[in-house]
Chain A
């Protein structure tokens, strides 16, 4: 199987994602340049963290008009697996592949630290190596990661099981203190209705080796591998 990591001007977690796939997961991986129109036959596309286009205007707002994004949107709409991490999540909401928006952290500070996430739905391509209720230790690093949507829309997401990760304390409890940015319902990651597009603010690619402080992020990559190798490729 093959992963693709998109590089926008200002991406800064593209090498982390590349290294996690290549050296830890030991799968094939290619960089996909933002000006390219070709996904090079990748089975999974990763939109990495960083500050694409300097986060000018709004985080992710300019990246959605990159040439590669036309291909990514078409790939996602045909059922292809697309994961947006941090800035990648912001790009996915901006281009409409995921509902809602990511706004300034409620405390206005950039937040860079380990947090705990509870797996809320283990039936996705991104969490099949987890069990519902598992608590993962994965770092965040963002200033605009507060997940927002209108009340009725949040209810729809919750009812459909689209909330995949929620910020919790070390014991797995949803608390206000465990919410690092003011996200509604402590939402840290969601999938689209079809389940093939994931956005998450925390960085699984930064938690793939003991020396980094946690290996829990690897579960996301392992889930993706088992999803791709057990189902026929799309796109």
Chain B
């Protein structure tokens, strides 16, 4: 029985790409009285559970980030492995 491990993938809009959701959330914060919040950028994250002994598993994780989880035109990603 092979072990499993988890990887957490964070996908963010690249700097300079307009994030209307973040802007709207930021406006809401200001309206709620939180004057110290200067900006909000939204993103998403994924928890991947993979076979620890999978064939070149780190490369596979990177590959699915680039091919599916993020759109490299507008988004960047980072991976935390545990």
Contact = CB atoms under 8 A, between A and B. Distances in A.
Interface of A: 57-58, 61-62, 65, 93-94, 99-101, 103-108, 146, 148-150, 182
Interface in B9-24: 16-18, 20-21, 24
**Interface of B (DSSP majority class):** loop
Nearest to A106: B20
Given A103-B17, A104-B20, A106-B18, A149 B68 contact: no
Contacts of A104: 20-21
B73 A100 contact: yes
B60 interface: no
B68 A57 contact: yes
Among A94, A104, A149, max chain B CB count under 10 A is at: A104
A108 B68 CA distance: 24
B18 A103 contact: yes
Nearest to B67: A65
**Interface of A (DSSP majority class):** loop
Contact of A107 (B16, B20, B71, B73): B20
B69 interface: yes
B74 interface: yes
A166 B70 CA distance: 28
Among A58, A93, A94, max chain B CB count under 10 A is at: A58
Contacts of B68: 57, 61-62, 65
B69 A149 contact: no
Contacts of B20: 103-108, 146, 182
Contact of A148 (B21, B24, B69, B74): B74
Given A65-B68, A103-B17, A106-B18, 8 more contacts: A57-B69, A93-B73, A103-B20, A104-B21, A108-B20, A146-B20, A148-B17, A148-B74
Nearest to B69: A57
Interface string B49-68: 00000000000000000001
A48 to B, nearest CB: 21
B76 to A, nearest CB: 13
A10 to B, nearest CB: 17
A202 B80 CA distance: 40
A103 B71 CA distance: 11
A94 to B, nearest CB: 7
A80 B25 CA distance: 44
B72 to A, nearest CB: 10
Contacts of B16: 150
Contacts of B21: 104, 108
Contacts of A99: 73
A108 B22 CA distance: 11
